[in-house]
Amino acid sequence: MYLFSYGTVIILRFLKTLSCLLVIFLVFGNLFGREGIASDGEVTLKEAINIGLQRAKEWNVNATLESINSVDETMGGSRGETGKRFNWFMIFIVPGTEDYVLIGISEKKITEFRPSKQTPGPAIPYDEIKLDSSDVLQLAKDKYGLKQGKDWATGYHFTLNNIDGIPILTVVGNDRDNHFTRISFNAQNGDVVSAIHKLPYGGGLISKRMGTDNSDNLTKKGMAIMGVVAGNNNLVVWGDKKPTQFSTTKQPFIEWSQNNGKIWTELQANNYVTHAWFDGNNKLYLATEKELWAGITSKSKGTKILSLDYMIETIDYSINNQIALIANGKIYYTTNQGESWEQTIVPKPFYVVQISDNGDLVGLTEERKIFKKTNNGWNEITMPNSDDEPLDMKVINNKLFITTQSGIWIRNLQGGIWTNTKIDEVVVKFIKKGEKLFGYTHRDEAIYSINTKDERKPEKVFNSVDFIVSDVDIMEDTLWIATAPNYSWEEMTTQLRQ
């Protein structure tokens, strides 16, 4: 057995290399992408090394393995179930030099060959690798009940690295509760070096009475609460009951409370909810991936007012419930609560779209330029200070709110004098809830309430440094904060099969 201190060092080294592996899984995984190929093109880790080593020796007779990992793909097959994958990437070095080569294989064939130079890592003598990917996979299943990964790094994945002079063979998958898991073995003798998984902490719905320093209550603990909206004595939340690190859409829900969060009623939704709001008549609207629904109640899923073939990227509504959204590079908007819809093409890709009470369309481009739609097309709204770059933008009560490094700029949409509201910290993102406006600071460390009717100084209402805040709203004197779990690596205990 290895001492805990050594295992801790190994874990830290793995965390350092994990970011590199994420890039390889995601970037190179896209190079191979077709479904339904038979699994006879899959190979184990050692078989992949043999294929790559032969080509590396042709490049340089002194080539020695430095590392290897499997790569995500959508080619069908076993997805690592037998310790085999279609796609692998490996690095060979020439000891004593800066020469190295990246070699990729797919279906037993060399598909990538990229020589270059860099400071080499430690080599792995091939004759020291006694265990193969199929061996460590079976050990991981027997000792820890390891399952195939989902959502990201699908199936089982394998890596081999030299850490502190020892060849470490790691298998990546999910534990029995679908948490991302890495189990590492000494490739010389099969000893477990490290077994860690990403466990959630935090998450849930926080209620905080205004004027107090601490949150009053935390409900729906461990859930990913992705949104919250308050109406007239009504509260609606939505998110995922059982989130994982890579998905908050596995067990989606939306719930309604009519007694300040004491009792909740689950509402019907065809898909996971991305946005919801109440209109002036306390009628509930919600957006899913490609649809908009109106009039949702505990007894009815309401009426579908829009269905698209493309993902709804962003959405906005005005106080009198004009609605605008972006999908597939177009703006869809309605000025009669969804009875009829119009379309318009955006001049440049929009990061934000807003619609005013008068039906004016305003957009913030990815290049941080603001445009307003007129009868003659789209006209740019220039900032009063040319050195200020918009970080975010909202429209409320026909007023334009723009947050910048120098504060929050406000102006009537029809023109007039710009005013600047100073704030103790830079607000980088707005949250609009009807006539209410909130702002996140850098790294989401604090939430400010911004008065939209006068020029009073914004008030800090929540210190969010210890939370992953996804949404916020206020009802009477209570602030409701939607939070999602964070994840940290924790050591696992052996779970032997019965």
Residues forming a β-bridge with 171: 158, 183
Domain with CATH 2.130.10.10 in the chain: 202-488
The answer to whether residue 382 scores a pLDDT higher than 50 is yes
Strands (E), 231-295: 235-240, 252-257, 265-266, 275-278, 284-287, 291-294
Phi, psi of 72 (to 5 degrees): -65, 150
The continuous run of DSSP H or E covering 478 comes out as strand 478-484
449 touches 474 (CB < 8 A): yes
Q: Would you state the structure tokens that stand for residue 284, as one six-digit string? A: 């509930």
The answer to whether residue 199 scores a pLDDT higher than 50 is yes
Mean pLDDT calculated for residue range 277-288: 93
Q: Which residue has the higher pLDDT, 486 or 2?
A: 486
Q: What CA–CA distances, in Å, run from 256 to 163, 228, 236, 260? A: 52, 10, 5, 10
Question: Which stretch of 38-42, 153-157, 337-341 has the lowest confidence by average pLDDT?
Answer: 38-42
pTM of this prediction exceeds 0.85: no
State how far the Cα of 319 lies from the Cα of 24, in Å rounded to an integer.
46
pLDDT at 215: 60
Give the other-Cβ count within 10 Å of 252's Cβ: 20
pLDDT at 212: 76
The answer to whether residue 10 scores a pLDDT higher than 70 is no
User: pLDDT tens digit string along 291-321?
Assistant: 999 999 988 889 999 999 999 999 999 999 9
State how far the Cα of 409 lies from the Cα of 344, in Å rounded to an integer.
27
Q: Is the dihedral of CA 136, 146, 153, 156 positive or negative?
A: positive
Mean pLDDT calculated for residue range 388-404: 95
Residue 38 DSSP class: -
Q: What CA–CA distances, in Å, run from 248 to 10, 153, 266? A: 30, 16, 17
The answer to whether residue 486 scores a pLDDT higher than 50 is yes
User: pLDDT tens digit string along 348-380?
Assistant: 999 999 999 999 999 999 999 999 998 889 999
The answer to whether residue 420 scores a pLDDT higher than 50 is yes
pLDDT at 456: 84
The answer to whether residue 339 scores a pLDDT higher than 50 is yes
Phi, psi of 284 (to 5 degrees): -90, 130
User: pLDDT tens digit string along 125-158?
Assistant: 888 899 999 999 999 999 999 999 987 788 999 9
Nearest C-alpha neighbor of 305 from the set 337, 269, 332, 283: 337
pLDDT at 216: 65
The answer to whether residue 19 scores a pLDDT higher than 50 is no
The continuous run of DSSP H or E covering 53 comes out as helix 45-59
State how far the Cα of 252 lies from the Cα of 88, in Å rounded to an integer.
35
Residue listed under structure tokens 């723009």: 402
State how far the Cα of 287 lies from the Cα of 272, in Å rounded to an integer.
9
User: pLDDT tens digit string along 205-257?
Assistant: 999 998 776 666 899 999 999 999 998 889 999 999 988 888 888 899 999 99
pLDDT band at 288 (very low <50, low <70, confident <90, very high): very high
The answer to whether residue 92 scores a pLDDT higher than 50 is yes
The answer to whether residue 3 scores a pLDDT higher than 90 is no
The answer to whether residue 28 scores a pLDDT higher than 60 is no
The answer to whether residue 27 scores a pLDDT higher than 70 is no
pLDDT band at 326 (very low <50, low <70, confident <90, very high): very high
- Grouping H, G, I as helix, E, B as strand and the rest as coil, residue 137 is helix
Phi, psi of 387 (to 5 degrees): -80, -10
Mean pLDDT calculated for residue range 59-68: 96
Q: Which CATH fold topology does 202-488 show?
A: Methylamine Dehydrogenase; Chain H (2.130.10)
Residue 249: left (phi > 0), alpha (psi -120 to 50), or beta? alpha
pLDDT at 270: 76
- Give Cβ neighbours of residue 260 (< 8 Å, ≥ 6 apart): 233, 235, 475, 478
The answer to whether residue 470 scores a pLDDT higher than 70 is yes
User: pLDDT tens digit string along 74-84?
Assistant: 777 888 999 99
Q: pLDDT > 70: what percent of the chain?
A: 91
Q: What angle do CA 256, 262, 265 make, to 5 degrees?
A: 30
The answer to whether residue 335 scores a pLDDT higher than 90 is yes
pLDDT at 148: 94
pLDDT at 39: 60
140 touches 171 (CB < 8 A): yes
